[in-house]
Copies of this chain bind each other. A is one copy, B any other.
Amino acid sequence: MISENQYFDGNVKSLGYETAEGKSTVGIINPGEYEFGTAQKEIMNVIEGELSALIPESAEWKIFPAGTCFEVSANSSFKVKTEVQTVYLCQYR
């Protein structure tokens, strides 16, 4: 089963699946700024492109290039922005 999701008028699209360790989604974020809420802890891995993220524990935006990741705790929210189409893998763990 591969689920299909889209958010923000199709500017963020993702495909979801289950691994032995938990649910994951892989997706693409168009240029822009977006805010996401979390129900579980999320590990956001930047695969291609680059994201700036504002996470609850941080007072300022940080840049995450391809090959890096950041964590967001459950029941919170975070903002991302990007100037280029960016691929991410989000692991819900």
Chain A interface (Cβ < 8 Å from any Cβ of B): 1-2, 4, 10-11, 13-15, 17-20, 24, 26-28, 30, 47-49, 84-85, 87, 89
Contacts and interface: CB of A to CB of B under 8 A. Distances in A.
B2 A26 contact: no
Interface centre among A15, A20, A89 (most CB of B within 10 A): A15
B84 A19 contact: yes
A18 B11 CA distance: 14
Given A2-B30, A24-B48, A85 B18 contact: yes
Contacts of A48: 19, 24, 26, 89
A14 B26 CA distance: 9
Nearest to A14: B15
